[in-house]
Amino acid sequence: MARCRDLKTLQALLAGKRAAQAAARPDGPAPAGPAPDSPRRLLGIDTALRTTGFGIVDCVGTQMTAVDCGVIQTAPGEPFSECLRRLAGGIRELVRRYAPDEAAIEGAFYCRNVHTTLMLGSARGAVIAVLADMEIPIYEYAPRRVKQSVCGFGNASKAQVALLVAQFLRIQVGNLRNDATDALALAICHAQTARVASGLGLPERL
């Protein structure tokens, strides 16, 4: 592959790739998103039924700053419907309080236990419905891709993810739950993906 020897050539190649991607869409060109170096607030969500992690990160170019993180939790023994109600309400409150520009969630996965898979899918659907209702663009990333983005390899442990999140954001994570650091990792992954090649590597919006 020939290398681009100047910025003008690179910009022309990127413009051509964007035009080709837009032409390939059945519904026409996608709406333009924010410039990769413009200030953005990202909401990462590690979805589960009873303990969902969230992480909010401000990013400008290569600089990322943690704003808040934690979990939305429902006590054991509460009915399934109450878990979904609290989860949806918690996400709605986060959006109202922090006004994120975009959200990143973990992609769907399957368990051997069909009942568990259905419950996780319902929790994920509740989160997506609230974000869509509040007009927050949603992007999903496979767990392995998040680990590759943050740690450099897809088989990283939760402890390794937490350690790299601490280094990226310059925060202490000793007292944070893995659900929260996983959510911060999702936000970091989305920020890095949006920055590479002017966001051409972004997944399709949900």
Residues with catalytic roles: 46, 106, 179
Q: Are 30 and 9 in contact (CB under 8 A)?
A: no
Nearest alpha carbon to residue 46 among 168, 147, 196, 154: 147
Residues listed for the chain:
206
Bridge partner list, 52: 72
Nearest alpha carbon to residue 56 among 103, 96, 125: 103
> Three-state SS across 48-74?
CCCEEEEEEEEEECCEEEEEEEEEEEC
What does the radius of gyration of the chain's CA atoms come to, in whole angstroms?
18
Classified as helix, coil or strand, 126 is helix
Q: What is the Cα–Cα distance from 199 to 45, expressed in whole angstroms?
A: 20
Q: Are 168 and 23 in contact (CB under 8 A)?
A: no
| Residue 156: DSSP 8-state | -
